[in-house]
Structure 1
Amino acid sequence: MKKTVILGATDNPYRFAYKAAHSLLRHGHPIALVGIKKGSVAGQPILNGRPELGEVDTVTLYVGPQNQVEWYDYIINLKPKRIIFNPGTENEELEQRARQNGIQTIEGCTLVMLNAGMY
């Protein structure tokens, strides 16, 4: 299985990004955590800035559209196969940019997709 980047990662156990990290690992998906605050989730560090991550299959977004603009180039340059726009992160401008770069976009919920076997 290929790497999923959780953009908007947090060590707050009440946030969906935190729950998604644990669920992805339980389902056997390697993860990279990228966020603005230091911390760790499931023993993995939250990386700050715009880290190089190697081959990326999926970026799952937990950053609201108002805060995504500064991440556009980073997300596109990761060259993921797909971007999952979790509820509340939908952004037509980023979706259009992604599609123009051959990246599949999905408006869905990572947790639901994993639990339904549709990830």
Structure 2
Amino acid sequence: MKKTTLVIGASVKPERYSNKAIKRLRSNTIEVKAIGLRAGSVSDVTIDTELKSYKDIHTVTLYLNPSRQKQYYDYIINLKPERVIFNPGTENFEFIKLLEKENITTEIACTLVLLGTGQY
């Protein structure tokens, strides 16, 4: 199954977990789209600064603190992903309730750990 993943909060800085996640996703041959504050690229993935209408997003993985997520609520819901992963520090129970009302699975987990343990 194709699990195209959208990384929100992407960074070109190698020490950032979003950057590490993009690299690990790509090394697992998972298609990646990315949105960040600054344009750039990580591996072969372009970081967009605009909210594009991506098609067939399976997973959204968040690297934004809860207060910064509000502006993305409608955008993410309208993408209709299968699931949204809340990485450590991004837990947001208000948003989780909204996603679950839309039948979108949520996980409070670390994308890197999920990939490393074969649970992605």
Specify the TM-score bucket, using the shorter chain as the normaliser: over 0.9
2:112 is matched with 111
1:77 is matched with 78
C-alpha deviation, 1:27, in angstroms:
1.0
Distance 2:106 2:39 in 1: 28
The answer to which of 15-24 and 1-10 deviates more is 1-10
Matched, 1:19 2:20: yes
1:24-75 CA-to-partner distances (Å, cap 9, x unmatched) read 0111210001111111111221111211111110000001101000110011
Look up the equivalent residue of 2:42 and give its one-letter code: V
User: Given the two structures, how large is their TM-score scaled by the length of structure 1?
Assistant: 0.97
1:2 is matched with 3
**Structure 2 residues without counterparts, runs of 5 or longer:** none
Distance 2:26 2:44 in 1: 11
Return structure 1 stretches of 4+ with deviation > 3 angstroms: none
Look up the equivalent residue of 2:97 and give its one-letter code: Q
Matched, 1:62 2:89: no
Identity %: 41
User: Given the two structures, how large is their TM-score scaled by the length of structure 2?
Assistant: 0.97
SS state of the match for residue 71, structure 1?
A: helix
Distance 2:111 2:97 in 1: 20
Give the alignment's Cα RMSD to 1 decimal: 0.7
Distance 1:40 1:77 in 2: 25
Matched, 1:30 2:34: no
Look up the equivalent residue of 2:111 and give its one-letter code: T
